[in-house]
Structures are given as structure tokens and as C-alpha cells.
Structure 1
Amino acid sequence: MKHDWKKSEKQFYAPKGEPEKISIPAMNFFSIRGEGNPNSPEFGEYISVLYALSYGVKMSPRQGLAPDGYFEYSIYPLEGVWDLKEEARAKSMEILDKDALVFNLMIRQPEFVTPEFAAEVIERVAKKKPHPLFSNVNFETITEGNCVQMLHTGSFDDEPASFARMEAYAEANGLNRKSKIHREIYLKDARKTAPEKLKTILRFTVVDH
């Protein structure tokens, strides 16, 4: 049976439009770091590289290269961990300077993808579709641990209101936001979806008071 994260991992990918606490276990990702405005043409290149690798894993059986334990699955959604450049973090900004953003974009990979197989996929896909960004790709295991998350519906520019609700929830439940770094999981393609219909999971890590 095909593994569909939308159905079998709802706790991670189908939160409600209200803040909730959740513990996120270790997960494996292809990831790539960068900085700058996500509305720039260059930003799309980072995304294209990650999807090329993710499809390289998914389609490996067609090339007779499937790893041990391979199973049919749906490709996981694009995610981004966002921060600000150090000099921008020191300033108080009423309007976010998107040129000062720092990001780590990633797409989760199934458990059967080992570091060795990931390296093989990067090498194989880079030969087939050469791009300088392939040399910047990492395969990493990330454990987020305790987090507050919620589903944000609407424009990315309206996210501060959702973060304010999440921070209020954390405070009311004896939790402190660990840092201003946060994660976004994109359930809709921003290139094909009207801003008011975008669905994005917002998440930040927390610690007890």
C-alpha cells in the first residue's frame, strides 16, 4: 500500500487553525541553505534542486536502483526554517526586510533513505541535470522535539497574527518560545495558489518555563 503522509501522519501535517503542542521526532531531509528574498527568481532554483532529488529517490525503482526497504509513497511537502541575518536581528523592524532573511529549505525523505543512498542520488541527479546548487545540498537528520504549531490560512504576510496567537498559547501553557527561528510547511504551491487560499503549517520549538 502506498504511504500517504496526508492520511497516515496527520499529527504532523494536518493541524487545525488553533495552536497546539506537539513533539516532533527525528526525520531525514534533503536540505539547502541560503539567504535573501523568497520572491526573487533565484529562490525558485533552490526549490527545483530539492524536488529533483526527491523525485530521484521516488523514481529509483524505474532505474533498477531502489534501496533496501523501498516502498511506494507520496513526496513530502516543501519546508523552510527561517531566520534573519544577525545585523537585522538586532534591529526592531515593523515591516520585515525580506532581503535579510536566512533560510534552510528542505524536503523530508522516507526512512529507507540512508546517507549513502542520498549521496548516490545527489551524484546521479546532478549528472543528469547539472546545477551548481547541488553541491550545497545536505542530507541531515533533524529532531525538532517539543513545538507549538498551527495551520495558517492566507498570505505569508499575515503570518505575524498567527505567531502572536501561538506565542499567547505557549505562555498560557507554561512554555517559552526557544528562539525567533521558525519552521513553515507549505501545503499549497504559492506559484499556483491565490494568497488568501494558501495553507501553511507554522511551527516553533518551545521549552518549559
Structure 2
Amino acid sequence: MKHEWRKAEKETYLPKAKPTLIEVPTYSYYTLTGEGNPNDEDFGEAVAALYAMSYGIKMMPKKGITPDGYFDYTVYPLEGLWTLKEEAFSDFKEGDGFNLDDLTYKIMIRQPDFVTEALALENIKAVSAKKPNINNERVQFERITDGSSIQMLHKGAYSEEEATFAIMDAYCKEQGLQRNSPYHREIYLSDPRKTVPEKQKTVLRYQVKAID
């Protein structure tokens, strides 16, 4: 049976529009690190590289290669860890906004459990040979653990996320929690090329710990 993350992993990927405390285990990802405005063409090409690698894994059986433990599945959604460059972060004040050029990111797509490091690296070579992209050499394979985190579904434009983060921050204060990282994670449930901003759905998440 095909593994569909929207059905099988609702707790992780389909939270409600209210803050929820969740324990996120270690997952494997193709990742790509960069900085700058996500509206620039370079960012789109970086995203394309990640999708090419991810579909390279999924389509292996059609190329006569069936990895140990392979099962059919829906490719996982694009995710991103975001913060500001160090100098911009130190000057940032809530409510003042920020320059998109000051963003730093690690975008990623999760890979199924059967994907080993050796398989992932071999796939990068194979995909790069068939689908040249200047970003292919920047793609990494990593294991990442979010651990204890607060997450919430954000409905609307990316530019309006601050209101959702404010709700999450208030929840943390009530629960005696505080952020444990300058990064926050975004999981994109909508394709911005096909969805008007007011109907976009994005999971917002950040790591937390108990206040000392």
C-alpha cells in the first residue's frame, strides 16, 4: 500500500490552527543551505534541485533499481529552517519587520526510512548527470531532530506569519516554555505557484524547552 504522509502522519504534518506541543523524532532529509530573498530566481532553482533528487529516489524502481526496504510513497513536502543573518538578527525588533535579503535558510525534503546515506549520495550523482543544476553540488543528506517543538497551522500569506507566531509565543508563555533555537521551521502544504496567498497553508514550528 502506498504511504501517503497526509494520511499516515497527520500529527506531524497536518496540525490544527492552534498551538500544539509535539515531539518530533529524527528524520532523513535532502537539504540545501543558502541565504537571501526567497522570491529570487536562485531560490527557485535550489528548490528544483531538491525535488529532482527526491523524485530520483522515488522513481528508482522504474529505472530497474529497487533499494532494500523500498515501498511506494508520496514525496514529502518542501520544508525550510529560517532565521536572519547574524548582524540583522542582533538588530531585529519584533514588529519592525525585516529585509528579505537578510534571511538565511536550510530548505529540505524528507526522505523515507529506507534511504541510506550511500543510496542518497549515489542518487545525487545519477540525478546530477541527467538534470544539471548549479545547485546540485550543494545538496546534502542529513539526519535532523527537531525534538520538543510547538507547531501550528498558518493560513494565509507568508507575510502574515507574525500573527501566528504571536499566538504560539503566548501559548509558550502560558505553558512555561521558551524557544530553544533562533530558527523556525516552515512546512509548505500549498504550492505558491498555484495557490492565492490568502489560501496558502503552512505549518509553523519551532523548538522549545522548559524555562529554567
In structure 2, stretches of 5+ residues that fail to align are none
- 1:191 to partner: Cα distance: 1.4
Distance, in Å, in 1 between the alignment partners of 2:131 and 2:92 is 42
- 1:179 to partner: Cα distance: 2.7
TM-score (norm 2): 0.97
Distance, in Å, in 2 between the alignment partners of 1:26 and 1:43 is 26
* One-letter code aligned to 1:199: K
- 1:133 to partner: Cα distance: 1.0
Q: In the alignment, is the contact (CA less than 8 A) between 2:45 and 2:133 conserved in 1?
A: no
Aligned to 2:21: 21
CA RMSD in angstroms comes to: 0.8
Aligned to 1:75: 75
Aligned to 1:51: 51
- 1:131 to partner: Cα distance: 1.7
- 1:149 to partner: Cα distance: 0.2
Distance, in Å, in 2 between the alignment partners of 1:11 and 1:191 is 26
Distance, in Å, in 1 between the alignment partners of 2:132 and 2:209 is 42
SS at 1:132 equivalent:
coil
Structure 1 runs (4+) greater than 6 angstroms displaced: none
SS at 1:76 equivalent:
coil
SS at 1:203 equivalent:
strand
Give the fraction of aligned pairs with identical amino acids, expressed as a percent: 51
CA deviations over 1:104-153 (Å, ceiling 9, x no partner): 00000000000000011000000001122111111000011000000000
1:156 corresponds to 2:194: no
SS at 2:7 equivalent:
helix
* One-letter code aligned to 2:98: L
1:193 corresponds to 2:195: yes
Distance, in Å, in 2 between the alignment partners of 1:179 and 1:3 is 31
CA deviations over 1:142-186 (Å, ceiling 9, x no partner): 011000000000000000010011011011011111133100000
Aligned to 2:145: 143
